[in-house]
Structure formats: C-alpha cells, structure tokens
C-alpha cells in the first residue's frame, strides 16, 4: 500500500511538473510553439532581467488590452499568450498577425529607443 501511494505521488508530481506553465521568471526565450513550423530558433528574451535592464515598469507595455480599438491603460493581459489574440495568419480586420505582433513589439521598441537588437540573428540565436 505504501509503495502504491509513493508511486501515485511520483506520477502526480511528474504530471504537475510537465503541465505547469513556464513562469515568467524562468523564461529565457520567447516560446515559438504557437507557430506551425518555426523557421528560426526562438528569440532570446530573459523576461525579468530584460525588463529590468530596459526599465520597463508597466506589464501592459507588452501584455496589452484593447477595447473597441482603444488601448486600455490600467489593464493587462499577462494571463494570455500573444497567440490567444494574434492569429498566425493575418485576417483582414487590421489585427497584426502573430509574427508581426512580436516584431512590432520587440523590434519596434529597439528601433525607437536605438537600444536593443534589431538584426535577425541577434534575437534568433542558434543555441
């Protein structure tokens, strides 16, 4: 009986481990699993360290919420993946498709601030 319980426990812990979402403090690259067949290595992004070095205080600078086409200043969507709202292929509703959403967020800010990588291989680094 004791052995059975131990095995059950090991299975339960293993299951939790395998299905637990990646916490942002452990994130080192932006996951590319929402793309059907990724062409590039996932982009380097050490979530918390990046945001601290870049001095970004507002989570919704990236995890934004729009309502009726307007950005909602005090809300954030960090419980959602970007891909929950941005589809892989563009629709004709003006919503950026997923790759464009990432590039429009990451690369655009680096260009505007003239700080942070803008070359493909600087973000999509071969491991």
Binding site for ligand HEC (CB under 6 A): 21-22, 24, 29-32, 35, 38-40, 42-47, 50-51, 53-54, 56, 59, 61-66, 69, 77-78, 80-86, 94-96, 99, 101-107, 109-110, 113, 115-120, 122-124
First vs last C-alpha separation in the chain: 46
CA pair distance 101, 13, nearest whole angstrom: 36
CA-to-CA dists, residue 75 to 2, 55, 109, angstroms = 49, 19, 20
CB of 1 to ligand HEC, least distance (A): 37
CB of 12 to ligand HEC, least distance (A): 21
Nearer to ligand HEC, 8 or 72 (CB): 72
CA-to-CA dists, residue 49 to 53, 85, 110, angstroms = 6, 26, 16
Q: How many helices (H) and strands (E) does the chain have?
A: 4, 2
Nearer to ligand HEC, 9 or 78 (CB): 78
CB of 18 to ligand HEC, least distance (A): 14
């Amino acid at each position: 009986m004791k052995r059975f319980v131990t095995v059950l426990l090991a299975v339960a812990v293993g299951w939790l481990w395998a299905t637990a979402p990646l916490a942002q403090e452990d994130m080192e690259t932006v996951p590319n699993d929402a793309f059907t067949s990724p062409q590039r290595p996932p982009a380097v992004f050490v979530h918390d360290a990046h945001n601290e070095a870049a001095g970004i205080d507002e989570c919704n600078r990236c995890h934004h919420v729009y309502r009726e086409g307007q950005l909602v200043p005090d809300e954030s969507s960090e419980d959602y993946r970007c891909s929950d709202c941005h589809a892989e292929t563009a629709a004709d509703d003006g919503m950026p498709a997923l790759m464009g959403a990432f590039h429009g967020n990451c690369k655009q800010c680096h260009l505007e601030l003239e700080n942070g990588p803008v070359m493909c291989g600087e973000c999509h680094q071969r491991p």
